[in-house]
Amino acid sequence: MPASRPKKPGDPLHPRASGPLRSFGRIKSRTIKPLQAALFGTLLPTIAVPDPKAGPVDPRLLMPEATEAWLEIGFGGGEHLAEQAAKNPNAVMIGCEPFLNGVASVLRHIDDRGLKNVRIHADDGRDVLNAIPDASLDRVMILFPDPWHKVRHNKRRLLNEETAAQIARVLKPGGRLRFVTDWKDYAGWALERLNRTPDLVWLANEADDWRIAPADHVVTRYEEKKLGDTAPLFLEFERA
């Protein structure tokens, strides 16, 4: 059996790579369709979030007329982000996704539906999260993040102590976090870290509160594939 390719120091999966561990896998798969590819040059520049590594990302400047600001980290194919944007036109919807096919998909949704309240960061959502000022967001949504379910890969999970603390920091008092996963171990992992994060309060009182989807949940194609080891588990937290 041939030896596996050695990881170089510049490789995001190399143990000595600089910066935070990458919480996502590949960034592109199949060829992007021409019409979607064209939107990268026409639509995306008009709705792109300013470079979060260059300075703060203030939601109030992204859409001054907005009455709320929501952030979705890892929007996948964008069906959920687009539907929430359509249902909540007064909220600026900040969506982050490094997977280029997902970005192509959401651009098509935005263009087809004429959505004016979506802003996109086509890269790691943690950069935007870190750049948002304190108490700026009404909602944060993390739906079906990569589970990294092998124990040796758990450290790559998006939801960790640092991310939980940043979420608590950027949420307004009364703001909500929704974390959804279809892996039991990840749900337990997330619950443990969120429960010990100051100022985040779990809203569940009984099992149905995490087993039954909230009324405004949008089912996506990914969810319908049922790739995890459990039905979706919904963890809702509020900023005290």
d(Cα 237, Cα 66) in Å, to the nearest integer?
23
Is 146 assigned a catalytic role?
A: yes
Exactly one of 11, 111, 123, 146 is catalytic; which is it?
146
Largest CA distance in the chain: 60
Q: What count of other Cβ atoms lies within 10 Å of the Cβ of residue 216? A: 10
CA-based nearest residue to 99, from 77, 69, 66: 77
| 216, amino acid identity | D
Active-site positions read 146
